[in-house]
């Protein structure tokens, strides 16, 4: 099977534009790891795209195509493949839009459906979805980023400081701020309006605890947790993801995995590799977001399983065909990793 892998940020989706260094670092690390894992599976030919500004180091068997964000070129690349694996941010509906193009082409999409991506990435609607199935989620308010300051004061009274402010549709830590007072809240809203051009933002009560994520496999209906991972998050200025540890040793790791599975299964059409972000408090696992795509935690999961013969990409391909493992692989090695994919001693 000829598989096209397109990572939007490092793969040419932003040619001619300034690329945020953190997104480039994470995107390129995920792409390099993913195509290496796919190339190791017998019977597949792997082709990937690259922004000419950002050369890739990949196995010789991987075909690399310079891509310059042309819709016609992208359609031709899709038609040349038997299947397409997309890695792109949810920001501005990017991942859902690209996935819909693949669906319209009739070529097999190795990942979540575009409708599932839209539901999972709608941060404004996620709180009510999780509430219906009894999953803990931060107290949330939705507000206009260009509205009167009186609206912000009302939100602050409801939530209490500190407040997490984020775009209604975004990816990871991109555009996420922690406001500790009214001045910082106004600054966060101004930055989101300037950087994302959105009409609304999501305001959430800050949940103190251990930042974590769960890596899952999904077949469109069911989900299986592969690992619970720790996250290192910088909250100086906008949030910044610095890497993590796989697996995370925490008293609530089991509850985190269970909550992530239920959150994933509440959104029909999630397939392949899926990530769920949480905060683990002293008493509960609080789900923050559902990421309908490859996440940076993939780097830690694949490294932790490297000695066991398990190929996470192969398991994700099987999940897209409706085949989930009967139980998750045993992880007997702890791995610390950076956002750029470097494995730490």
- Judged by average pLDDT, the poorest of 137-146, 309-318, 332-341 is 137-146
Provide the pLDDT for residue 173.
Answer: 74
Check whether 195 has a pLDDT greater than 80.
no
State the SS3 of the chain: CEEEEEECCCCCCCCCCCCCHHHHHHHHHHHHHHHHHHHCCCCCEEEEEECCCCCCCCCCCCEEEECCCCHHHHHHHHHCCCEEEEECCCHHHHHHHHHHHHHHHCCEECCCCHHHHHHHHCCCCHHHHHHHCCCCCCCEEEEECCCCHHHHHHHHHHHCCCEEEEECCCCCCCCCEEECCHHHHHHHHHHHHHHHCCCEEEEEECCCCEEEEEEEEEECCCEEEEEEEEEEEECCCECEEEEEEECCCCCCHHHHHHHHHHHHHCCCCCEEEEEEEEEECCCCEEEEEEECCCCCHHHHHHHHCHHHCCCHHHHHHHHHCCCCCCCCCCCCCCEEEECCCCEEC
- Residue 147's pLDDT band (cuts 50, 70, 90): low
Which residues make beta-bridge pairs with 245? 230, 336
Provide the pLDDT for residue 168.
Answer: 76
Residues written for the chain = 345
Q: Return the domain boundaries, the chain.
A: 2-110, 139-205, 210-344
Question: Contact at 8 Å (CB) between 51 and 16?
Answer: no
Other residues' Cβ atoms within 10 Å of the Cβ of residue 344 = 9
Please give the mean pLDDT across all residues of the chain.
93
Q: Which residues contact 130 (CB under 8 A, 6 or more apart)?
A: 136, 137, 263, 266, 287
pLDDT average, residue stretch 26-51:
96
- Residue 177's pLDDT band (cuts 50, 70, 90): very high
Q: What is the CATH number of domain 139-205?
A: 3.30.1490.20
Which of 52-66, 193-207, 214-228 has the largest mean confidence? 214-228
Provide the pLDDT for residue 201.
Answer: 87
> How far from each other are the two terminal CA atoms of the chain, in whole angstroms?
37
Check whether 44 has a pLDDT greater than 90.
yes
Check whether 148 has a pLDDT greater than 80.
no
Kindly report the backbone phi and psi dihedral angles of residue 12, in degrees, each rounded to the nearest multiple of 5, phi listed first: 110, 0
Check whether 69 has a pLDDT greater than 80.
no
- Residue 12's pLDDT band (cuts 50, 70, 90): very high
Provide the pLDDT for residue 200.
Answer: 78
- Residue 335's pLDDT band (cuts 50, 70, 90): very high
- Residue 174's pLDDT band (cuts 50, 70, 90): confident
Tokens of residue 95, six digits: 């991942």
Kindly report the backbone phi and psi dihedral angles of residue 84, in degrees, each rounded to the nearest multiple of 5, phi listed first: -130, 130
On the 0-12 / 13-18 / 19+ scale of CB atoms within 10 A, 184 is: middle
- Residue 190's pLDDT band (cuts 50, 70, 90): confident
Provide the pLDDT for residue 194.
Answer: 79
Provide the pLDDT for residue 146.
Answer: 67
| Angle at CA of residue 47, ends 113 and 74, nearest 5° | 60
pLDDT average, residue stretch 314-335:
96
Q: What is the CATH number of domain 210-344?
A: 3.30.470.20
Provide the pLDDT for residue 145.
Answer: 73
Check whether 17 has a pLDDT greater than 70.
yes
Name the CA radius of gyration of the chain, rounded: 19
- Residue 196's pLDDT band (cuts 50, 70, 90): low
pLDDT in tens, 234-243: 887 788 899 9
Instruction: Identify the residue with better confidence: 189 or 211.
Output: 211
Check whether 75 has a pLDDT greater than 80.
yes
Q: What is the CATH number of domain 2-110?
A: 3.40.50.11770
- Residue 112's pLDDT band (cuts 50, 70, 90): very high
């Amino acid at each position: 099977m000829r598989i096209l892998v397109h990572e939007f940020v490092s793969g040419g989706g932003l040619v001619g534009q300034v690329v945020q260094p953190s997104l480039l670092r994470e995107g390129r690390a995920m792409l390099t790891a993913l195509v290496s894992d796919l190339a190791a599976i017998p019977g597949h030919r792997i082709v990937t795209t690259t922004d000419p500004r950002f050369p890739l180091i990949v196995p010789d068997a991987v075909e690399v195509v310079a891509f310059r964000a042309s819709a016609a070129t992208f359609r031709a690349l899709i038609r040349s493949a038997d299947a397409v694996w997309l890695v792109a941010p949810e920001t501005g509906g990017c991942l859902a839009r690209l996935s819909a193009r693949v669906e319209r082409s009739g070529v097999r999409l190795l990942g979540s459906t575009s409708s599932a991506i839209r539901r999972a990435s709608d941060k404004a609607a996620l709180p009510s979805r999780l509430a219906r199935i009894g999953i803990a989620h931060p107290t949330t308010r939705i507000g206009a980023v260009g509205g009167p300051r009186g609206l912000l004061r009302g939100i602050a009274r409801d939530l209490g400081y500190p407040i997490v402010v984020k775009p209604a549709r975004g990816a990871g830590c991109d555009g996420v701020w922690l406001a500790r007072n009214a001045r910082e809240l106004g600054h966060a809203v101004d930055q989101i309006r300037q950087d994302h051009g959105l009409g609304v933002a999501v305001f959430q009560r800050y949940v103190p605890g251990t930042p974590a994520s769960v890596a899952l496999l999904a077949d469109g209906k069911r989900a299986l947790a592969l690992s619970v991972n720790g996250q290192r998050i910088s909250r100086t200025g906008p949030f910044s993801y610095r890497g993590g540890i796989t697996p995370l040793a925490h008293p609530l790791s089991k509850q985190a995995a269970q909550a992530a599975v239920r959150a994933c299964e509440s959104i029909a059409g999630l397939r392949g590799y899926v990530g769920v972000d949480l905060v683990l408090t002293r008493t509960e696992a609080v789900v923050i977001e559902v990421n309908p795509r490859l996440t940076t935690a993939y780097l830690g999961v694949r490294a932790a399983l490297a000695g066991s013969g398990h190929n996470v990409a192969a398991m994700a391909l099987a999940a897209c065909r409706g085949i989930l493992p009967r139980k998750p692989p045993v992880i007997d090695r702890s791995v610390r990793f950076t956002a750029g994919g470097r494995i730490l001693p």
